[in-house]
Amino acid sequence: MPIEKFLGGISRFQKDVYPQHQDLFEKLAIGQRPEALFITCADSRIDPCLLTQTKPGELFICRVIGNIVPPYPDSLGGVSATIEYAVGVLRVPDVIVCGHTDCGVIKGALHPDALSSFGAVWNWLRYANVQSRQANPSSELLLAVTEQNVVTQLKNLRSHPAVANRLLEGNLSLHGWVYHIGPGVVTAYNEKSGKFETPEVEEARAGAQDSVNDKF
Protein backbone atom coordinates (compact mmCIF):
# COMPACT_ATOMS: atom_id res chain seq x y z
CA MET A 1 0.00 0.00 0.00
CA PRO A 2 1.22 3.56 -0.72
CA ILE A 3 0.92 4.61 2.94
CA GLU A 4 3.34 1.87 3.93
CA LYS A 5 5.81 3.22 1.39
CA PHE A 6 5.51 6.71 2.87
CA LEU A 7 5.86 5.46 6.45
CA GLY A 8 8.95 3.55 5.38
CA GLY A 9 10.34 6.78 3.98
CA ILE A 10 9.77 8.52 7.32
CA SER A 11 11.59 5.70 9.08
CA ARG A 12 14.59 6.03 6.74
CA PHE A 13 14.56 9.79 7.20
CA GLN A 14 14.68 9.45 10.99
CA LYS A 15 17.37 6.79 10.85
CA ASP A 16 19.64 7.94 8.02
CA VAL A 17 18.96 11.58 7.07
CA TYR A 18 18.14 13.38 10.30
CA PRO A 19 21.31 12.37 12.19
CA GLN A 20 23.50 13.76 9.37
CA HIS A 21 21.77 17.16 9.45
CA GLN A 22 20.67 17.43 13.06
CA ASP A 23 22.20 20.89 13.51
CA LEU A 24 20.18 22.28 10.61
CA PHE A 25 16.90 20.83 11.82
CA GLU A 26 17.47 21.99 15.40
CA LYS A 27 18.13 25.51 14.07
CA LEU A 28 14.98 25.39 11.94
CA ALA A 29 12.97 24.23 14.95
CA ILE A 30 13.25 27.68 16.53
CA GLY A 31 12.47 29.84 13.49
CA GLN A 32 12.60 30.41 9.77
CA ARG A 33 13.97 33.03 7.40
CA PRO A 34 13.01 31.85 3.91
CA GLU A 35 14.65 33.56 0.96
CA ALA A 36 11.63 33.42 -1.37
CA LEU A 37 7.95 32.64 -1.65
CA PHE A 38 7.60 29.96 -4.33
CA ILE A 39 4.08 29.70 -5.77
CA THR A 40 3.66 26.66 -7.96
CA CYS A 41 1.18 24.03 -9.06
CA ALA A 42 0.15 21.12 -6.88
CA ASP A 43 1.12 18.79 -9.74
CA SER A 44 2.95 15.74 -8.37
CA ARG A 45 5.71 16.05 -10.96
CA ILE A 46 7.06 19.27 -9.47
CA ASP A 47 9.46 19.29 -6.52
CA PRO A 48 10.40 22.94 -5.84
CA CYS A 49 13.36 22.12 -3.60
CA LEU A 50 14.75 19.53 -6.01
CA LEU A 51 14.28 21.91 -8.93
CA THR A 52 15.99 24.84 -7.21
CA GLN A 53 18.46 22.70 -5.23
CA THR A 54 17.50 24.41 -1.99
CA LYS A 55 17.62 23.14 1.58
CA PRO A 56 14.82 23.07 4.15
CA GLY A 57 14.13 26.58 5.39
CA GLU A 58 15.10 28.38 2.18
CA LEU A 59 11.74 28.35 0.35
CA PHE A 60 8.29 29.28 1.65
CA ILE A 61 6.11 27.21 -0.67
CA CYS A 62 2.51 27.75 -1.78
CA ARG A 63 1.12 24.91 -3.88
CA VAL A 64 -2.23 25.26 -5.61
CA ILE A 65 -3.55 23.83 -8.86
CA GLY A 66 -2.61 25.99 -11.81
CA ASN A 67 -0.23 28.11 -9.67
CA ILE A 68 -3.14 30.53 -9.53
CA VAL A 69 -3.23 33.70 -7.44
CA PRO A 70 -6.76 35.11 -7.26
CA PRO A 71 -6.75 38.92 -7.48
CA TYR A 72 -7.34 40.69 -4.19
CA PRO A 73 -9.89 40.64 -2.59
CA ASP A 74 -11.45 37.79 -4.59
CA SER A 75 -11.46 34.35 -3.00
CA LEU A 76 -9.72 35.35 0.21
CA GLY A 77 -8.36 32.16 1.71
CA GLY A 78 -5.29 29.98 1.83
CA VAL A 79 -3.45 31.43 -1.15
CA SER A 80 -3.96 35.08 -0.18
CA ALA A 81 -3.14 34.33 3.47
CA THR A 82 0.07 32.56 2.46
CA ILE A 83 1.12 35.51 0.31
CA GLU A 84 0.34 37.98 3.07
CA TYR A 85 2.27 35.99 5.66
CA ALA A 86 5.31 35.40 3.46
CA VAL A 87 5.52 38.96 2.15
CA GLY A 88 4.18 40.92 5.12
CA VAL A 89 5.39 38.90 8.11
CA LEU A 90 8.40 36.92 6.93
CA ARG A 91 9.47 39.71 4.56
CA VAL A 92 10.79 37.46 1.81
CA PRO A 93 12.74 39.46 -0.79
CA ASP A 94 11.50 37.49 -3.81
CA VAL A 95 8.26 35.91 -5.01
CA ILE A 96 8.37 33.32 -7.79
CA VAL A 97 5.32 32.11 -9.70
CA CYS A 98 6.28 28.87 -11.42
CA GLY A 99 4.05 27.24 -14.01
CA HIS A 100 4.85 24.03 -15.83
CA THR A 101 4.32 22.20 -19.09
CA ASP A 102 1.45 19.71 -19.54
CA CYS A 103 -0.58 21.45 -16.82
CA GLY A 104 -4.01 19.89 -16.32
CA VAL A 105 -5.53 23.17 -15.14
CA ILE A 106 -4.42 24.93 -18.32
CA LYS A 107 -5.89 22.10 -20.38
CA GLY A 108 -9.07 22.45 -18.35
CA ALA A 109 -9.19 26.21 -18.86
CA LEU A 110 -8.96 25.61 -22.61
CA HIS A 111 -11.77 23.04 -22.42
CA PRO A 112 -13.80 23.84 -19.27
CA ASP A 113 -16.77 21.66 -20.22
CA ALA A 114 -14.63 18.61 -19.47
CA LEU A 115 -14.48 19.68 -15.81
CA SER A 116 -18.04 20.96 -15.42
CA SER A 117 -18.90 18.18 -12.95
CA PHE A 118 -16.12 19.32 -10.60
CA GLY A 119 -17.57 22.55 -9.24
CA ALA A 120 -14.62 23.83 -7.24
CA VAL A 121 -12.12 23.12 -10.00
CA TRP A 122 -14.38 24.58 -12.70
CA ASN A 123 -14.87 27.75 -10.66
CA TRP A 124 -11.10 28.05 -10.05
CA LEU A 125 -10.38 27.98 -13.80
CA ARG A 126 -11.69 31.50 -14.26
CA TYR A 127 -8.63 32.93 -12.50
CA ALA A 128 -6.45 31.63 -15.31
CA ASN A 129 -8.29 34.13 -17.53
CA VAL A 130 -7.96 31.93 -20.61
CA GLN A 131 -10.00 33.27 -23.52
CA SER A 132 -9.30 30.53 -26.06
CA ARG A 133 -11.25 27.27 -26.22
CA GLN A 134 -9.62 24.15 -27.60
CA ALA A 135 -10.41 20.55 -26.67
CA ASN A 136 -7.15 19.19 -28.08
CA PRO A 137 -4.62 22.03 -27.99
CA SER A 138 -1.29 21.78 -29.77
CA SER A 139 1.84 21.76 -27.62
CA GLU A 140 2.63 25.26 -28.91
CA LEU A 141 -0.77 26.63 -27.83
CA LEU A 142 -0.58 24.86 -24.49
CA LEU A 143 2.83 26.39 -23.78
CA ALA A 144 1.68 29.86 -24.88
CA VAL A 145 -1.34 29.70 -22.57
CA THR A 146 0.80 28.34 -19.73
CA GLU A 147 3.15 31.30 -20.10
CA GLN A 148 0.27 33.76 -20.28
CA ASN A 149 -1.18 32.26 -17.12
CA VAL A 150 2.06 32.96 -15.25
CA VAL A 151 1.98 36.57 -16.45
CA THR A 152 -1.66 36.85 -15.34
CA GLN A 153 -0.82 35.56 -11.86
CA LEU A 154 2.06 38.04 -11.57
CA LYS A 155 -0.45 40.79 -12.34
CA ASN A 156 -2.85 39.40 -9.74
CA LEU A 157 -0.04 39.30 -7.18
CA ARG A 158 0.41 43.04 -7.51
CA SER A 159 -3.19 43.58 -6.40
CA HIS A 160 -2.46 42.14 -2.93
CA PRO A 161 -1.81 44.96 -0.42
CA ALA A 162 1.19 43.28 1.21
CA VAL A 163 2.83 42.85 -2.20
CA ALA A 164 1.90 46.34 -3.42
CA ASN A 165 3.33 47.93 -0.29
CA ARG A 166 6.61 46.07 -0.56
CA LEU A 167 6.89 46.95 -4.25
CA LEU A 168 6.44 50.61 -3.34
CA GLU A 169 9.19 50.24 -0.75
CA GLY A 170 11.39 48.82 -3.49
CA ASN A 171 12.47 45.73 -1.56
CA LEU A 172 10.47 42.99 -3.26
CA SER A 173 10.98 41.38 -6.66
CA LEU A 174 8.49 39.27 -8.61
CA HIS A 175 9.55 36.52 -11.00
CA GLY A 176 7.63 34.35 -13.48
CA TRP A 177 8.97 30.93 -14.45
CA VAL A 178 7.84 27.97 -16.52
CA TYR A 179 9.30 24.56 -15.72
CA HIS A 180 9.62 22.35 -18.81
CA ILE A 181 9.27 18.89 -17.30
CA GLY A 182 10.66 16.76 -20.14
CA PRO A 183 14.02 18.49 -20.68
CA GLY A 184 14.23 19.70 -17.07
CA VAL A 185 14.77 23.36 -17.95
CA VAL A 186 13.24 26.58 -16.69
CA THR A 187 12.40 29.69 -18.70
CA ALA A 188 11.90 33.05 -16.99
CA TYR A 189 9.64 35.94 -17.94
CA ASN A 190 11.46 39.00 -19.24
CA GLU A 191 9.17 41.95 -18.63
CA LYS A 192 11.04 44.15 -21.09
CA SER A 193 10.77 41.73 -24.02
CA GLY A 194 7.48 40.20 -22.93
CA LYS A 195 8.96 36.75 -23.57
CA PHE A 196 10.04 33.74 -21.55
CA GLU A 197 13.77 33.20 -21.91
CA THR A 198 16.48 30.96 -20.52
CA PRO A 199 17.76 32.86 -17.46
CA GLU A 200 21.39 33.73 -16.96
CA VAL A 201 22.61 31.69 -14.02
CA GLU A 202 25.24 32.98 -11.63
CA GLU A 203 27.48 29.95 -11.64
CA ALA A 204 29.68 31.30 -8.87
CA ARG A 205 26.95 31.02 -6.27
CA ALA A 206 25.67 27.73 -7.62
CA GLY A 207 29.14 26.25 -7.58
CA ALA A 208 29.82 27.40 -4.05
CA GLN A 209 27.05 25.23 -2.66
CA ASP A 210 26.82 21.48 -2.50
CA SER A 211 23.75 20.16 -4.27
CA VAL A 212 20.70 19.08 -2.36
CA ASN A 213 21.19 15.60 -3.78
CA ASP A 214 24.58 15.45 -2.07
CA LYS A 215 23.26 16.78 1.23
CA PHE A 216 19.99 14.87 1.39
**Average pLDDT, stretch 59-65?**
98
195 pLDDT higher than 70: yes
pLDDT at 75: 86
Span 89-93, average pLDDT = 98
Q: What's the pLDDT at 192?
A: 94
> Is residue 204 over pLDDT 90?
no
CATH architecture of 32-199: 3-Layer(aba) Sandwich (3.40)
The mean pLDDT of 158-175, rounded to a whole number, is 98
Which residue ranges make up each domain of the chain?
1-30, 32-199
pLDDT of residue 214: 54
Residue 209 has pLDDT above 50, yes or no: no
**How many other C-beta atoms lie within 10 A of the C-beta of residue 160?**
22
Q: Average pLDDT, stretch 66-89?
A: 96
pLDDT at 201 over 80: no
pLDDT at 92: 98
> Model pTM?
0.91
DSSP the chain: -HHHHHHHHHHHIIIIIGGGGHHHHHHHTT----SEEEEE---TT--HHHHHT--TTSEEEEE-GGG--PPTTTT-SHHHHHHHIIIIIS--SEEEEEEETT-HHHHHHHSGGGGTT-HHHHHHGGGG------SS--HHHHHHHHHHHHHHHHHHHTTSHHHHHHHHHT--EEEEEEEETTTTEEEEEETTTTEEEPPPP-HHHHHHS--HHHH-
- Where does the pLDDT of residue 202 fall: very low under 50, low under 70, confident under 90, or very high at 90 and above? low
Average pLDDT score over residue span 183-206 = 85
Mean pLDDT of 140-156: 97
Model confidence band, residue 58 (pLDDT cutoffs 50, 70, 90): very high
User: 216: pLDDT confidence band, cut at 50, 70 and 90?
Assistant: low
More confident residue, 204 or 179: 179
CA distance linking residue 189 with residue 118, whole number of Å: 32
Model pLDDT for residues 100-118, shown as the tens digit of each residue: 999 999 999 999 999 999 9
